[in-house]
Structure 1
Amino acid sequence: MFFSLLCFIAVICVLVGFNQKSQPRFALGASLNPIISTLVTTFKSSLIYVAGGCIGQLKWIWFYKTRKQLNDMESFDSASRGPLGSLFMVLQDKGRSLVSLGSVVTILALAFDPFVQQILTYPTKERIEATNSTLAAAK
């Protein structure tokens, strides 16, 4: 969880550090997009790993306290393995326990990547030339 938090803080620091500045030029033609994408993927992967581990531990705590049917164990196990099992767990549990929170985190991680791709924008600025014509310049 600590590593996931560090990656999230690194994303924020990079975004704040390059906010309102021209697009930087790194070695080998890299830009901010792959740097942000790598940090966010690392953040998301480590967060899903932690959520899956917590759901797996909650399975055993739940079984110890309730001693219910073994098919409920299968639901917990599926939820700890991915988004589809997490969706079924949320629908089955209906938010009554902590396992729903881990399942929702796993489901929402799917929607995280498309929004990260929209974080960086490079707007063009108009400038007036001596001939009174406007040209778009991108730096």
Structure 2
Amino acid sequence: MKKILFLFLMIGTLLLIVSCSGNKLEGTTKPPIPEVEIDLVDIPVVRGGYCWYECADTPSIPEIVERKEPTIVPKTAEINIIFNYEPKPNNTSVTRMKKGEEELYNQSLTVPTEQGVYYYEVHARWDYEDLEADSSYAFVIEVK
């Protein structure tokens, strides 16, 4: 009887491992953090609020990055946002806010020409048959 119970336990464990190994993101409780690169420099990214099998709220932008030291970047450099995970988000959007201003700018994938500290928020949405999720991310740069 113990051998049969052990056999069923082993088969169940094996099935669980096989079913969770097909997709890198399956079984994760938090969404993946994208890589952000500006002029070949990696920019630290902070995960904001998300719904990914569970939901979590965070303070707004720029609150979640205000304690982070801005990464200094050159004017008009290209901003690359890369999700190195599958499945990739179906939809992403980027907003930018200059420190001390309330105005949000539409998607901008180049560094501004005006000097200052800028907060960026990236919003990603996954809309697949087996995954409906979204997440926000933030990073801060200083243009000199």
Shorter-chain TM-score: what band?
under 0.3
More helix by share: 1
Normalised to the residue count of structure 1, the TM-score between the two structures is 0.23
Normalised to the residue count of structure 2, the TM-score between the two structures is 0.23
Relative contact order, CA 8 A, sep 6+: which one is greater?
2
More strand by share: 2
Structure exhibiting the larger radius of gyration computed from Cα positions: 1
